[in-house]
Amino acid sequence: MEKRYFDFRDIFQVIRYGFSGRKIAVHFIGLVIAYLIYELLVYLSLFVEGGTAAQDFWNTSALLPVLPFSNAELAQLTEIAMWIGVASFACIFFLASTVASKITIEQLRGDFFFSVGDAVTFLKGHWKSVLGAFIGLLLIQIFLALIPLSIAGLGKLPVVGKPFLTVASLFMPIGFFLGVLMALIAIVFCVSLLFVPAVVATTGADAFETIYQQFAIVWNKSWLTVCYEAMLFLIKLVFVPIWALFCLAGFSIVMFPVSFLHTGQMEHITACANLWLGGAIEKLAMLPYVNSFGVFNIGMAMKETSTFTTTVTAIFLTITLLIGIGVVIAYLFSIASAGNTVVYTILRKKIDGHNLLEPFDVELAETPDK
């Protein structure tokens, strides 16, 4: 096992642990599943709406994911489908993060051959802890929020409303502390978005213990958490663009001979792919250095009639570009999963002296929940 310092120096190891084929593959598969679910829900809702809703949406966005709050002209059913898709994406992301975190912690413990299959087996026994921690925090916040909402609602009642508010004002000091508690829980929930998968993966904790660990992080090492997450953000800011440029360079090198020798045809193929991606290629080509090889030229070929071979080629080009974007995003998620796992091991060591890299109750941690 490598030497650990349990301070900021360990965070730089994320550069190596984040660049892992297994973790990138896990997040990539999660992205593919989430993307397919999202698009399927959106277009099913548009077909249910009937008329030209699906065609109109295809003409503007096609296969490009559209967030529910980015287009005010969407029907309510479609917005609901989008929010369901967003929730599905969140669930899949956190489950994939748990798998990646489990691989990371086992590597930190010295098992560099811990497989994705073993991590998935672990997830099958602990996925309830991951989702349960989020649901538990939300339920606590909702329960606390119902108190002032109920008081405000009862205050609207005729005759007894104003006297009731007067009596309730006597408990305003208690309400102040209730508001502070709700603010604390809101912060804890934000922190849980970072550390719930890491806590479950490293300790095999249930939902209640996972929630407790989020409070422990916020209460004991809040500023240290902010500093470590800022370092992790800088690592992402540097290395994800490098990986994106590397992927872009590889794609451009492969496509350059075809684009050079078959310029007109490739412009038309790229134009078709651009339409199917909601104009994303055209926007991408406007960025500095992206179109240095000219493989994203569209020109006036957009107006030509597509042949069967052109359409088939454009389909595979679209799929390839989506895969490329997915791989870049998966690398970002891989760094996040590995980084938050490393950060949690440091914080846990500083909070209670527990070294998560040493074997502890392994059988308990690996036993699936009944």
- Report the distance separating Cα 266 and Cα 261, nearest Å: 9
Report the domain count for the chain.
1
Pick from 221, 149, 150, 146: nearest CA to 187:
221
How do residues 168-191 score in pLDDT, each as one tens digit? Answer: 888 888 889 999 999 999 999 999
204: in domain: no
Residue bearing the bigger pLDDT, 290 or 101: 101
Q: Looking at residue 71, what is its pLDDT?
A: 66
45: amino acid identity, one letter = S
- Report the distance separating Cα 351 and Cα 332, nearest Å: 28
The pLDDT confidence band at residue 359, using thresholds 50, 70 and 90, is low
Could you tell me the residue range of the domain that residue 79 belongs to? 8-128+222-366
Average pLDDT over residues 244-268: 88
181: in domain: no
- Lowest pLDDT segment from 2-16, 21-35, 227-241: 2-16
Q: Looking at residue 369, what is its pLDDT?
A: 45
Q: Looking at residue 192, what is its pLDDT?
A: 96
pTM for the model = 0.90
Q: Looking at residue 58, what is its pLDDT?
A: 87
298: in domain: yes
How do residues 261-314 score in pLDDT, each as one tens digit? Answer: 888 888 888 888 888 888 888 888 888 878 887 788 875 544 445 577 778 888
151: in domain: no
169: in domain: no
Question: In this model, does residue 365 exceed pLDDT 80?
Answer: no
50: in domain: yes
292: in domain: yes
Q: Which tokens sit at 330?
A: 């998966």
159: in domain: no
Pick from 104, 108, 120, 94: nearest CA to 6:
108
- Lowest pLDDT segment from 27-41, 177-191, 244-258, 348-362: 348-362
How do residues 191-247 score in pLDDT, each as one tens digit? Answer: 999 999 999 999 999 999 999 999 999 999 999 999 999 999 999 999 999 999 999
Residue bearing the bigger pLDDT, 306 or 79: 79
